[in-house]
């Protein structure tokens, strides 16, 4: 048991070392955009529109805390995304095996995320979070016609 934990920790540490630049860039991005824009999503910061993943973190939180309905309402893809992440963690760190079907599963999840996004943008936007418009975004501040364009397209 202890050897298994040490092996998993060694694999995790190796991945952290191998991807340290990417991890550092992510941390700097995260801190910077939260300080400057009070947001995380580049889509919201740039356009004021939600992205396909908006609400996913909160939805996963609701899912793991047993609030299934709230999770589903916030983002119906939270359950499959969480299952995929858990599968990857178990395969890589617990079993120490290669993750089979990684690219295929990731592609299918992305396509499903985009399908759910398109559907919800057509049926929910700009009704309830996270499918709301965020005023004061970059394009709205730089392009005088942007807000009018969104009003014509979405009724914002």
pLDDT digits (tens, 9 = 90+) for 44-80: 999 999 999 999 999 999 999 999 999 999 999 999 9
3-class SS of residue 152 = helix
- Calculate mean pLDDT across residues 127-140: 89
The mean pLDDT value for 116-129 works out to 89
Whether the pLDDT of residue 129 is over 70: the answer is: yes
Residue 143, in any domain of the structure? yes
Q: What is the pLDDT of residue 142?
A: 93
- Does any domain span residue 46? yes
Dig out the tokens for 28 from the structure.
């700097």
Q: To the nearest whole percent, how much of the chain has pLDDT over 90?
A: 69
Decide: residue 66, CB within 10 A, 0-12 exposed, 13-18 middle, 19+ buried. Answer: exposed
pLDDT category of residue 154 using cuts at 50, 70 and 90: confident
Is 13 part of any domain?
Answer: no
Instruction: Quote the tokens at residue 103.
Output: 């690219």
Predicted pLDDT of residue 155: 78
The answer to the question of residue 24 being in a domain is: no
Residue 1 has pLDDT above 80, yes or no: no
How many domains does one find in the chain? Answer: 1
Residue count of the chain, please give it.
Answer: 156
pLDDT band at residue 113 using 50, 70 and 90 as cut-offs: very high
The widest CA-to-CA distance across the chain, in whole angstroms, is 63
Classify burial at 50, counting beta carbons within 10 Å of its beta carbon; exposed 0-12, middle 13-18, buried 19 or more: buried
3-state secondary structure of 153: helix
Range(s) of the domain holding residue 83: 37-154
In this structure, the number of other CB atoms found within 10 A of the CB of residue 108 comes to 13
What is the residue whose two structure tokens read 């963690």? 89
Average pLDDT of the residues in 125-139: 88
How many CB atoms are located within 10 Å of the residue 72 CB? Answer: 15
Residue 2: per-residue pLDDT: 60
Inside any domain, residue 42: yes
Whole-model pTM? 0.79
* 91-100 pLDDT tens trace: 999 998 999 8
Token pair, residue 43, equals 């889509």
Round the average pLDDT of the chain to a whole number and report it: 91
Closest CA to 57 of 82, 35, 84: 82
């Amino acid at each position: 048991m202890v050897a298994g934990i040490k092996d998993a920790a060694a694999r995790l540490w190796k991945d952290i070392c191998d991807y340290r630049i990417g991890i550092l860039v992510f941390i700097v991005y995260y801190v910077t955009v939260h300080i400057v824009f009070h947001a995380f999503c580049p889509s919201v910061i740039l356009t004021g529109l939600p992205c396909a993943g908006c609400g996913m973190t909160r939805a996963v939180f609701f899912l793991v805390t047993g609030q299934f309905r709230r999770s589903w309402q916030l983002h119906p893809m939270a359950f499959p995304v969480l299952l995929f992440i858990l599968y990857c963690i178990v395969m890589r760190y617990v079993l120490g095996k290669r993750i089979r079907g990684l690219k295929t599963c990731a592609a299918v999840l992305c396509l499903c995320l985009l399908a759910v996004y398109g559907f919800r943008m057509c049926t929910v936007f700009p009704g309830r979070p996270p499918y709301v418009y965020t005023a004061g975004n970059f394009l709205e501040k730089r392009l005088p016609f942007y807000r009018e364009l969104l009003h014509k397209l979405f009724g914002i």
